[in-house]
Each structure stands twice: as structure tokens, then as C-alpha cells.
Amino acid sequence: MKKIRYILTLLLLVVILAHAGCMNSESTGRGGISGIVTNSYGEPLSGVKIASPEGSTMSDIYGKWLLESLPVQTIELTASRENYQTQKLTVDVISGETIENLVFALASDGDIFDVQVSSITSTSALITFYTRQKAVGYVKYGRSALLEESTFSDTEALFTHQYNLAGLVPASTYRLKCMATDENGRGLESELITFNTPYTMRPEAPTGLVPGKTANSNIVKLDWNASTGADFSGFNVYRAESSQGPFTLVGAVNQNSYSDNNVYPGIKYYYRVTSVAGTGEESSPSPVESFLMPGVMSINAVWKAQDSPFNLTGDLTVAPGVSLVIDKGVTINVSRGEQWDAESADDLVELRVQGTLMIQGTADQPVAMTSSSGSPAAGDWQGIIFDVASDLGASLIKGLHISFAEYGFDGLSGLPQISASRFINCRVAGIRCRSARSDVLIENNYFDSCASGLLIQDNSVNVTLTGNQVVRCVYGVVCRDNKYAKVESNKVGFSGVSGIDVGNTGVTSIVRYNTVGWGSTGTGLICRGNDEIRRNTLHANIGIEIRDTAEAVIRSNLMLVDKSRNGIGILYTGAVPYNFATASKTVTIQNNAVWNVTSQTSKYANSDGTFLAASADVGLTQASGPALQGGDPFKEFPNLTFSYVPSSGSPLFGQGYDGETVGAENVP
């Protein structure tokens, strides 16, 4: 009996241990999830069913819920409640742990509300709906349950959403759903809505839409062609400020023209016209045509690449207090003459700035402003004028390509900073600036085939011209009669009369590190004033010409002048030969190098042909000369790839004034 009792006790112990082991195994192989449910406004939501493949629960009055004893795996939870949109979340269950604070935020079925289908015709319908929170919406629609078509999405989050369904099939049943994504990233969806398009005889779309301007007014005049058959009722005129719309009805007329007087200069408008049948049915729209209104701007404007090109057919003035911003990638085509005023038809079109102009081009996407002529020529249009009242401090020019103007820029009272821009085929000058009110900075620009590349004169402020390249201009850089000027590190090629012409009043004005060469035929540098001419390389028929008004210091310059063409290194051209002892305005000439002329009077010539007083001439042998990396500059006609950089061991190194290198290249 004792033996039986012992066996039963042992069996009971085994069962208890096995049960405990199972319990322990179950607890370590299971986990839980808890969280909260809210509505769109973050308020707790009760009575929401939280379901998983292993079971379900309901949220309490505080929106809280808990699911326990879930297997360790990735499961999908579904939160649902009547009148709310179902939401699903995927969660990884962790063994022996309860995941906390999982949040469901259910959108109410009413978060998309008041869906309206209006203006239904045989080919179009207007869809409007609202969201209780700002959301980005669109509409899915189609003639089958697949809703195979959709509108464009909103470009920003809105409360009111409106879309025009165009190109619909007459006498058809359409289905649609309104879709949206709110600012919390939740997807919203309306119920399925059905509407029918009627059957009617649609009129033909108008053709030949031509926008223009009524002379001496701010009115856009539209004309078009269209048949007016028996079913004709009129025309609807639509306008937008973007090629992508939205287009808004601005007028209904029964003749083939329309005058739009609710427009502003500086804004580009897009128009299209439809024919309307007697039943009210509209035709498909005409091709879209655009018009940039010239005149005096009274509101700010931004010209974007997506709306390019902008065709300027008359003068445009940016009024005081108004700004025009031209974004990268924009092209502006300018008419040769004013098209809308018969009295000024021969006047050149201009962009005049009395307020603020911001041009923001890049190397890859510059702003291009040019003649609209099929055979463009220099001086086709006036250019960009900064008037005396312009806001120079707020304006900025960068990355502009301007061509075939009279002046690229004409600063009547100064200019904003101009950089990284190109000026091609300007008849008078790429940039002209006079009487500046603030300091002038023009840097890293390119000028080609202008009468003058830079024409900077009579400014009582600091002028800085640096890093510019000027080619094929009669006068490369003209910088004269300014209070203070720094003309530095510019490159001039293929110049005609002169490469650089300076004569500034400030004794600290400096002209240095400039290169004139690459086929320049006239004078490399003309000196008229008090500038210090230092460390320039000048490859021209005359290296430096000194006028009798000059009181300058000329040091460490390299002149490359061809003896076969009777070239001269430095030439004084005063009416009376220069005499250092008696001159009222003295000129200092020190440590310059001239090659390949040999006589002293060819290197330094006074106005009477005698030797011009110069000291510490850097002697160069006739055979090796300055030893430039490009070789001998006189053996062939130079081009823009010729290198004026001294080779290793060049006699130019350390031979200039105060031990500096002679010439502009290889500047430390």
C-alpha cells in the first residue's frame, strides 16, 4: 500500500512539474500590445474594435485597449468603428513583453464632406469637396469600377479642393472617389459617387486665338476664329497665371473678341476660349495662348522657368517699392520695337528698374534675355536700365546671359552687384555705370563682341572690376574718372582700340594682375589718371600709352610688342615731351620688361621719339625672351588657349619692383 501511495505521489509531482514547464514555456513564447485610439482631433475614441488574427478587444472610454497572449510574430492589427475609416498597422510581437503606446488615429467618414459634382456637361464636370483638416487631395474617376483616371494632386495642403474633369465621354455614367492625405499622413477617402454626362451636339472649339494689348492702356485684347452655327450661344473666356492652370472664367461674350482689363503689367497671363451651344454645352477649349503685359508694374512678380519663355513686346518698368524676381532657367525674348503704341513703334524696348530686380541664374540654368528677331543684331532692344530711384541694395544680378541689346546694363545712378553673367553683341556697351550712389562690384563676367565691354565712368564711390573676361570688343575695359577703382585679374582678348583704359582720381586706385592679349591689335593699356599700374601682362601693338593727364606709378609690367610691326612698349603721347624735372604731373616707370623690340626708344618712347625716362628695365635676351609656357607669342596669331604663364626658370621671377614677379600670370 505504501508502495502504491509512493508511486501516485511521484506521478503527481511529475504532472505538476510538467504543467509548470508548460506555463513557463507559454509565458516566454507570448507577448502583448497596448495603446490608445483617438479621432482626427486627438480626442480618445471608445468602442473601437482592435482585431488581430489571434483575437480582438475594444477601446474603453479613455480610448485605451490591450491585447494579451499573442504569439511572437509579425501581426497586422485593424482598428475599426462605424462612421470611421478603418486603419491598419503592422507590429512585431516581442516574447515576454507588452508593447505600449501604439496609437491609432481614425479619420471620420466625415473628414471628407460636402462632395459636390456641378457644371456637368457632356465632356466635363466640376468636383468640389472639403476636408476638416488641411490635406492634399485629388479625384479618382472613370466609367468602370476601376476608377482608371485621376486628376493632378493639390500642390499644397488645403481645406477646399476643386478639380475640373475634362475630356469626358458624352451620355456616359461616371464613378468617382475623393481622395486626400492630411498633414498627419493619414489617407482619407470618400464614398463612391456616380454622375451622368448628358448627350448633346457639341460646338467646335475656337481657333486662331491671338492675345495682344490695347494701345496706351493696361488691357489685354483677345481675338479668335470660330463658326457661329445654328446651335451657337456664345464664347467663354478663361484665364490662368500658369500654363497648368487653374483656368478661371473671366468673361462670356457673343463675338470673336474680348478685352480683359483686370490685368497687371509684369504678369504673364494664359488664355483659352470655348464655344457654347444653345443648350449650354461647351466645346473643348482652344489651344492656350499667353501674353506678358508690358507697362508699369504695381505688384510684385516672380518669373519661373515652368512659364518660360516670357515675350516682352513693350517697355516694362519695375516701379518704386515693387520687385521683379527672375528665377533660374527663364528665357526672355524682347521685341525690336514697341508693338502697341504707333507713335513709339521705333523706340527700343527696355526693362527699366525703379524698384528691385533679382536675377538668380546658375551655370547650368542661366537666365537668358535676348532679341526675339529671327535675324538678331546688336542694338535690337535697349537693355536693362537701373533708374536713379532703383533699390540697388536689394537688387542682385547673377547668372544672366544678355545679348543684342544697346546696353546690357545701364546704371544711371549706379548698379547692384553683377556676377557670373554673359554679355554678347551689345551695340554700345555690355555694362555702363555712371554717378553711382553706392559702391560698384562687377566680377567674373564674360563680354563678347560689344563696342565696349565695361564702360564705368564718373562715379564718386569705390569701383571694383575683377575676374572679368572681355573678348572681341573695340574697347575692352574703360574705367575712368572714378573716385577709387580696383581693376584686377581681368582678361582681355582680341581688343581693337584699347584693352584697358583707366584714369581715376584716387591716388590709391590700382590696376593689376590684368592680361591683355590673345590677338589684341591696338593699345594694351591707356593711362590717364592717378592709378598704380602694376603686374599686368600686355600683348598689343603699344603696351602702355601714357596721356599727359596721368600722374601714375607703372611697375612690374610685362609688355609684349612685335618689332616687325614697329611696336612700342611704353609710349608717352603728351603734346609736350615728358620731362620728369619740369612736369607738373609726374609719372614713375620702374622694373618693367619689354619684349621683343630691342632699342631703348622702342621700349620706352617719349612723344618726340626720344627715350622716356624709366628705371630698372628688366633685361630679356632676344632669343629666350620671357620664357612663357605658351612659347613665342609672335610666331603665330595668339588665341584664347595661349598661355602667358612664365615657365620654370623664367627671367620674370623676382625681377619686378620690390622683388616681385613681372607680369600678371602666376600671381602668388
Q: Bridge partners of 570?
A: 544, 604
d(CA 42, CA 182): 14
What burial class does residue 98 get, using C-beta atoms within 10 Å of its C-beta: 0-12 exposed, 13-18 middle, 19+ buried? Answer: middle
**Lowest-confidence pick of 565-569, 606-610, 617-621, 635-639:** 635-639
Residue 89: HSE in the Cβ half-sphere, 13 Å Cα cutoff: 18
Region 335-349 average pLDDT: 78
Say what the pLDDT of residue 54 is. Answer: 87
- Is residue 589 included in any domain, yes or no? yes
Say what the pLDDT of residue 1 is. Answer: 44
Beta strands in 73-197 (DSSP E): 74-80, 87-92, 98-105, 112-118, 125-142, 149-150, 158-165, 173-182, 187-189, 193-196
Q: Are residues 539 and 615 in the same domain?
A: yes
What burial class does residue 572 get, using C-beta atoms within 10 Å of its C-beta: 0-12 exposed, 13-18 middle, 19+ buried? Answer: buried
Q: Are residues 592 and 665 in the same domain?
A: yes
- Is residue 491 included in any domain, yes or no? no
Task: Tell which of 272, 292, 312 closes a domain.
Answer: 292
End-to-end CA distance of the chain: 113
Pairing of strands 553-555, 532-534: parallel
Say what the pLDDT of residue 21 is. Answer: 44
Region 47-61 average pLDDT: 91
Mean pLDDT score of the chain: 90
Over 80: is that where the pLDDT of 18 sits? no
Q: What is the DSSP letter of 379?
A: T
Say if CB 410 and CB 385 are below 8 A apart: yes
CATH number of the domain where residue 152 is located: 2.60.40.10
**Side by side, which strands form the sheet with 469-471?**
310-312, 331-334, 367-371, 400-403, 422-424, 446-448, 469-471, 491-493, 515-517, 537-539, 558-560, 593-595
Alpha-helical segments (H) within 65-180: none
The SS3 call for residue 343 is helix
Say what the pLDDT of residue 200 is. Answer: 63
Q: Are residues 506 and 621 in the same domain?
A: yes
Q: Are residues 508 and 652 in the same domain?
A: yes
Q: What are phi and psi of 16, to 5 degrees?
A: -60, -45
- Is residue 460 included in any domain, yes or no? no
- Closest to 438 measured CA to CA, from 388, 378, 481: 388
Over residues 72-99, the pLDDT tens digits come to: 999 999 998 887 888 888 999 998 899 9
Region 223-231 average pLDDT: 74
Q: How many CB atoms lie within 10 A of CB 293?
A: 23
- Is residue 659 included in any domain, yes or no? yes
Residue whose C-alpha cell is 544672366: 400
Over residues 97-135, the pLDDT tens digits come to: 999 988 888 877 778 888 999 877 767 889 999 998 899
- Is residue 495 included in any domain, yes or no? no
Say what the pLDDT of residue 390 is. Answer: 96
Over residues 535-593, the pLDDT tens digits come to: 999 999 999 999 999 999 999 999 999 999 999 999 999 999 999 888 989 999 999 99
224 is in which domain, residue-wise? 207-292
Q: Are residues 301 and 358 in the same domain?
A: yes
Over residues 373-406, the pLDDT tens digits come to: 999 999 999 999 999 989 999 999 999 999 999 9
Q: Are residues 257 and 343 in the same domain?
A: no
- Is residue 252 included in any domain, yes or no? yes
- Is residue 71 included in any domain, yes or no? yes
Q: For the chain, what is the domain count?
A: 5
Over 70: is that where the pLDDT of 343 sits? no
**The Cα angle at residue 90 between residues 86 and 94, in degrees rounded to 5:** 135
Is residue 468 very low, low, confident or very high in pLDDT (cuts 50, 70, 90)?
very high
Q: Are residues 282 and 226 in the same domain?
A: yes
Say what the pLDDT of residue 24 is. Answer: 44
Q: Are residues 522 and 605 in the same domain?
A: yes
Q: Are residues 34 and 79 in the same domain?
A: yes
Is residue 229 very low, low, confident or very high in pLDDT (cuts 50, 70, 90)?
low
d(CA 168, CA 196): 10
Say what the pLDDT of residue 365 is. Answer: 97
Q: Are residues 159 and 38 in the same domain?
A: no
To the question of pTM greater than 0.75 for the whole model, the response is no
Q: How many CB atoms lie within 10 A of CB 374?
A: 5
Q: Are residues 545 and 656 in the same domain?
A: yes
Say if CB 566 and CB 539 are below 8 A apart: no
Over residues 410-453, the pLDDT tens digits come to: 999 999 999 999 999 999 999 999 999 999 999 999 999 999 99
Q: How many CB atoms lie within 10 A of CB 528?
A: 19
Question: What percentage of the chain reaches a pLDDT higher than 70?
Answer: 93
**Omega of the bond leading into 246 within 30 degrees of 0 (cis):** yes
d(CA 309, CA 371): 12
Q: Are residues 417 and 532 in the same domain?
A: no
- Is residue 148 included in any domain, yes or no? yes
Over residues 164-207, the pLDDT tens digits come to: 998 888 779 999 999 999 888 888 888 889 999 877 666 889 99
Task: Tell which of 51, 80, 105 closes a domain.
Answer: 105
Say what the pLDDT of residue 338 is. Answer: 84
Say what the pLDDT of residue 28 is. Answer: 52
Task: Tell which of 59, 81, 105 closes a domain.
Answer: 105
